[in-house]
Amino acid sequence: MGEHFRGEAMPIFASMSWTRTAPLLLCAVVALNACRKDASSDTDQTGGPTGPTPLTLQVPSWSVDTAHALNLPYDNPLTVEGVALGRKLFYEKALSNDFSMSCATCHRQENAFSDPRQFSVGTDGSLGRRQGMAIINTAWDHFFFWDARAFSLELQAFGPVSNPIEMANSWPVVVQRLQQHPEYPELFRRAFGSATIDSLHVAYALAQFERTLISLNSRFDRYYYGGDATALTEEEVRGKDLFFGRAHCDNCHMLPLFLDHGVRNIGLPPGPDQGLAEVSGISDHRGRFKTTTLRNIEVTAPYMHDGRFATLEEVVDFYADDVVLTTSNLDPHMFPWVNDEVHLSAQDRLDLVAFLKTLTDEGFLNNPAFSEPQ
């Protein structure tokens, strides 16, 4: 769901140190669509398997490095049944108080699971204050929401359901609805071994599905990693060279994920939203927001935490002309701007926008495995 946090809605996150890491992590490369049942799994009296089927995610070797290892919790391993349940729940409108909204309402596949509106709209018509972020390659992520207040997808999933300006529901009501549903108890039994439903396992299932939303097959990937020299045009190659060169875009948007797991103040003109400082209470964290991925950026407008920019052209113009260099806690990654090293001509800007559009992954945007189950 979108970013509609009002401090009181999720006090568990506000009480946590923002630098706290997630629990013990199983950092292993797992592979999507290569599903197998572990030979040691429990079996019934007929010798057939009774437990959930372990799921592995197939990711290219170049997508995992020392700075970008998969971040998979040991206590919620991926399974075929868990992912299928999470997919169904992602599109389930019974999670909202009036049955009008699901996670997919504000995270649309055609927009790389982001919200094309500047601010998402709650069940009572309330507007949030932050743009609904894209859900892409979250299996690598370490924290969630624009202000980094949730340290796992599981923790993130709890918030929107009970947020009064999002789904405006309560977890006891959600659990009761799912428990009385003709299908869900059996789906939970298959996924987690018990037909008794609770909010934790709802969050577990949603997180499992979201970790399968992997996007690593853009034209850029085919050019850069696949060696297809015809995948990009001359204009796009010029934009690539700028991106990784004198435009300094990759200072924060690093390969292979086009992010750096940072929470940074990039010199936006300040507004009322204080970002990380609202969670940590530390004044130096004012205006710091999560660095988001640029993958599929072409379809995830509007941009920035408050959706202030409607187009990629506006974003590039901001970095070229409007970074507030006097910001007291400007991130060190912005020093090339302080040192007056970033100069972009009109052609440079066109080239950069052209390159950014090569990060669109059409297969991801149209993958039937991610769409609403029928």
Task: Indicate the length of the chain as a whole number.
Answer: 374
Annotated catalytic residue, options 81, 154, 166, 236: 166
Active site residue 81: no
- Strand runs labelled E in the chain: 25-26, 72-73, 263-264, 289-290
CB 265 within 8 A of CB 146: no
**Eight-class DSSP state of 144:** B
CB 225 within 8 A of CB 258: no
**Beta strands 72-73; 25-26: pairing state:** antiparallel
DSSP assignment of 229-292: TTSS-HHHHHHHHHHTTTT-GGGTS-TTTT--S-EE---PPP-S--BTHHHH--GGGTTBEEPP
- Token pair 């799912």 is found at 178
The Cα 55–Cα 188 span in angstroms is 16
Q: Do the beta carbons of residue 205 and residue 89 sit within 8 Å?
A: yes
Q: Compute CA distances 16 → 13, 21, 65, 152, 283, whole Å.
A: 5, 10, 28, 12, 16
Which residues are CB-contacts of 268 (< 8 A; sequence separation ≥ 6)? 287, 304, 308, 318, 324
The answer to whether the beta carbons of residues 123 and 101 sit under 8 Å apart is yes
Closest CA relative to residue 175, chosen from 107, 92, 52: 92
Question: What's the sign of the alpha-carbon dihedral 28, 276, 158, 92?
Answer: negative
H helix runs in 51-102, sequence order: 80-90
Amino acid at position 14, single letter: A
Residues annotated as catalytic are 166
